[in-house]
Structure 1
Amino acid sequence: MARDSFIRMHVYSVSSTEHVVLIVVHHLVFDGASTPVFLKDLFTIYESLVKITVTLSRVKR
């Protein structure tokens, strides 16, 4: 346990437009009450990145 990460995340590409995120968290650092907070923050960041990407792609045209 001293050498392992407490949180690991990997993004798998299913296709050029579809991806799957795998998140593995050790139970000592993450509990059930943390799940909604973590997911809300994760989705907020994702939505912000999507908006930036869409905006940048429109600017490049």
Structure 2
Amino acid sequence: MLFVDCTPEDGYGQLGWFGEASFPDMGLYPSFADYLLYASDALSAGRDMSHHRPEVR
């Protein structure tokens, strides 16, 4: 599951990822806009992202 870091520190606004019963991966994407750009590139190229492969159904 993606989450946004809202703590008032250096990582504010970064996106991270966590799965059930696991520790979060912080700072995977610098911002939501960067995540969307990365996702669109991965979708058009047919490649995996960090934790999943985006697809259109």
- TM-score, shorter chain, exceeding 0.5: no
Q: Which has the higher helix share?
A: 1
Select the structure of larger CA radius of gyration. Answer: 1
Instruction: With the length of structure 2 as denominator, give the TM-score of the two structures.
Output: 0.34
Tell me the TM-score normalized by structure 1: 0.32
